[in-house]
Amino acid sequence: MNIIDRARKARDAGRLILSRSAESRTAALKAVRQALYNHSGEIFAANRIDLDRSASEGLAAPMMKRLMFDETKLVRVCEGIEALEQSDDPMGRILEKRKLDKGLILSRIAGPIGVIGMIFESRPDALVQIATLCLRSGNTVILKGGSEALETNRILTRIIADASTGLELPDGGQPKGWIQLAETREDVREMLSLDHLIDLLIPRGSNNFVARIMRDSSIPVLGHADGICHVYLDAAADPGKAVPIVLDSKMQYVAVCNAAETLLVHSDAAKSLLPLILDSLNSAGCELRGCERTRSIIDVKAASAEDWDTEYLDAILSIRIVDNLDEAIEHIHKHGSGHTEAIVTEDKQAAEAFLARVDAADVFHNCSTRFADGFVFGLGAEVGISTGKIHARGPVGVEGLLSYRWQLRGSGQVIADYNEGRKTFIHKKL
């Protein structure tokens, strides 16, 4: 089946979903979660094929880590699905209601966007998160993962599709065709032209990749780009908090977009904090690169101009000393990607200034950048972190996949009566 036929099936399924019950979506989520556990052996075997092939092809270590789908990741995605099961169903929720006139009631109703085209990197767990978020929100989805995860993506898509359709419910569960898998670069090129079938594209990858998708398609794009994240250690940073926060932000999982890539240190705290940071990160196997002022205090490699604009996705951290909060924020705005920024300080005034002034999707005080995550935020899961400012920003969960419709219930009214002055609108909020 070609990608156009797949998109048509997804579109047709989306029209049927509008009449499906909340109970059927919840039941489908439960069935998917159970099926993933039941077929875990098959999933792990398929993932091993992908891992072995990718290793032989020389896939970089950070990408290999993203590619792995093991027991830990299975448990994590299933916890996300369970959270979605327990959440309120968003479809049909009344967002606002107004009485335009007697017997003329206007409602704004939450509903799905439609067909989502999701193009993402090698993480098979992202496929499960995206699919189940679409299931909860009533969207249909076309998924295109990296070719390195081909076998894992195939079996995950099959398990999710089989488990969510044909349930013994009054409305039969989810309609067949709601989840589709694209596999080739040609599929992606064709997807970009299907503005009559696909309502939203969500690419996850580099800034250049996202920009290319935006340039080559007239379909609206929700961008999920680089994560060049910073931790700023203020003059009033508590070393007991600063060291573990930096270590966690950088090293807890280096191959993710919310890992810190640059450490900014106030000059008043540099001599006391940098040796502690050096010991902690060196022990964890992290390579440090510093500006000239940093290298006058600790023995690290020299940072180049390119380092400040690099998302390493590896055990590398660049360090720069700044003289004040303004300089730190200036650096963040010049080199950051608008993803996640953190300040460590006991100075409440400095903390609030940082939180108010830093223009990023996620801005934190005295905690790790790794908290920037849909599951952690209580969203169940996420399709990614949106670094744009329109429609959705930060971790995009169910709410970011919703639109709305207006419903007007009347009792015989015609607009001529209002245009010609025989009647007037009340516009009363209900």
Residues 117-129 pLDDT 10s: 999 877 899 899 9
* Beta strands in 234-315, from DSSP E residues, in sequence order: 260-266, 287-290, 301-302
User: Which pLDDT value is given to residue 287?
Assistant: 97
Q: Give, in order, the Cα–Cα distances in Å from 333 to each of 145, 316, 322, 354, 407.
A: 31, 21, 14, 12, 42
Using CA atoms, how far apart are residues 225 and 387, in angstroms rounded to an integer?
7
pLDDT score, position 242: 97
Provide the residue count of the chain. 430
CA 1 to CA 274: how far, in whole Å? 58
**Cβ-count burial of 147 within 10 angstroms (0-12 exposed, 13-18 middle, 19+ buried)?**
middle
Residue 305 has a pLDDT of 96
Q: How many CA atoms lie within 13 A of 3 on its CB side?
A: 22
Give pLDDT tens digits for 191-241. Answer: 999 999 999 998 877 667 788 888 899 999 887 667 899 999 999 999 999
> Which pLDDT value is given to residue 171?
63
Torsion of CA 166, 170, 173, 174, to 10 degrees: 110
Residue 152 carries which side chain, given as an amino acid letter?
A: T
- Token pair recorded at residue 140: 């249909």
Calpha distance 343→368 (Å, rounded): 9
Radius of gyration of the chain (CA): 24
Which pairs count as long-range contacts for 125-129, CB under 8 Å and 24+ apart, including other chains?
125/69, 125/73, 125/76, 125/77, 126/204, 126/384, 127/153, 127/156, 127/157, 128/36, 128/77, 128/80, 128/81, 128/156, 128/160, 128/381, 129/77, 129/80, 129/374, 129/381, 129/382, 129/383
Taking alpha carbons only, the member of 161, 84, 184 closest to residue 129 is 84
- Helix (H) or strand (E) segment spanning residue 230: strand 229-233
CB atoms within 10 A of CB 386: 23
Strand partners, 201: 117, 221
DSSP string, 160-196: HHHHHBS-SSTT-BBPTTSEEEE-SHHHHHHHTT-TT
Nearest 5°: phi and psi at 122? -75, -5
Q: Is 375 exposed, middle or buried (0-12, 13-18, 19+ CB in 10 A)?
A: middle
Residue type, 123: R
Give which of 377, 381, 398, 396 is closest to 81, Cα–Cα: 381
Q: What is the pLDDT of residue 172?
A: 65
Domains annotated on the chain, with CATH: 3-224+383-406 (3.40.605.10), 229-371 (3.40.309.10)
The pLDDT value given to residue 224: 66
Tell me what pLDDT residue 256 has.
Answer: 87
Task: Specify the residue for token string 């989805």.
Answer: 141
pLDDT at 228: 94
Q: Which portions of the chain are predicted below pLDDT 70?
A: 170-172, 206-207, 224-225
Predicted local distance difference test score (pLDDT) of residue 290 = 98
